[in-house]
Amino acid sequence: MTGDFPSPNHGDRRGQRPELVVLHYTGMADTAEARARLCDPVAEVSAHWLIHEDGRLDPLVPEDRRAWHAGAGSWQDCCDVNSRSIGIEIANPGDRPFPVRQMDALVALLRDIMARWRIGPAGVIGHSDMAPGRKIDPGPRFDWQRLAREGLALAGGTGADADLQTSLTRIGYPPVDPATRLAAFRLRFRPWAQGPETEADRRTAAFVAYSAATGSR
């Protein structure tokens, strides 16, 4: 682990505590460039952690502080996501798989964060989940299935053929237009699926909604 919380871009949590972990990719050419931006006071953006391609961790903001990583969006009843979340930036331009060593480091970090703040698998989300139509990270190449296998995120599955939009609301997706919601859900749980809503979308969403409702958050 390197660094000493070098980002100045943070503030008070406004009386809230972390209940979510939001995963991002940096979307930049290399880690050095991303780190410089996350620590630039002019940029006014930050995260609590940055994970290098080789698995090294940079702590940028103390976890008890409000990092500026989520921006506009919401999840379930939470509109000020920054105040109630921990942000993890994963070094990746967005057009390639995430290296095994990087995913190993993420798994270990998530375990620590979730234990420290008592956050359940339903509380680990992507930037694209809370900001549909505005953000797509960590993107379709991110290995959500591995996190689910490790018990660190919700898994997809097959549930009842229930109303899709009702299920998406129960999971936590913001109330945006149906097509945008579907695209965000697919990005996370059915990467590469296209076209109109299908039975597979409805059954997967129903399964995830049930898991979110019955699991700890």
- Condensed to tens digits (0 to 9), the pLDDT of residues 140-150 reads 999 999 999 99
pLDDT-derived band at 216, boundaries 50, 70, 90: very low
Provide the residue ranges of all domains of the chain, joining segments of one domain with +: 10-149, 164-214
User: What mean pLDDT is predicted for residues 122-141?
Assistant: 97
In this structure, are residues 20 and 81 in contact, taking their beta carbons and an 8 Å threshold?
A: yes
Tell me the C-alpha distance between 19 and 81, whole Å: 9
pLDDT tens readout for residues 158-182: 999 999 999 999 999 999 999 999 9
In this structure, are residues 173 and 189 in contact, taking their beta carbons and an 8 Å threshold?
A: no
CATH match of 10-149 with 3.90.180.10: no
**Active-site option among 33, 44, 63, 89:** 89
Catalytic annotation on 89?
yes
Q: Is the pLDDT of residue 4 over 90?
A: no
Can you say whether residue 139 is alpha, beta or left, with left for phi > 0 and alpha for psi between -120 and 50 degrees? left
Best CA proximity match to 105, nearest among 55, 141, 164, 166 = 55
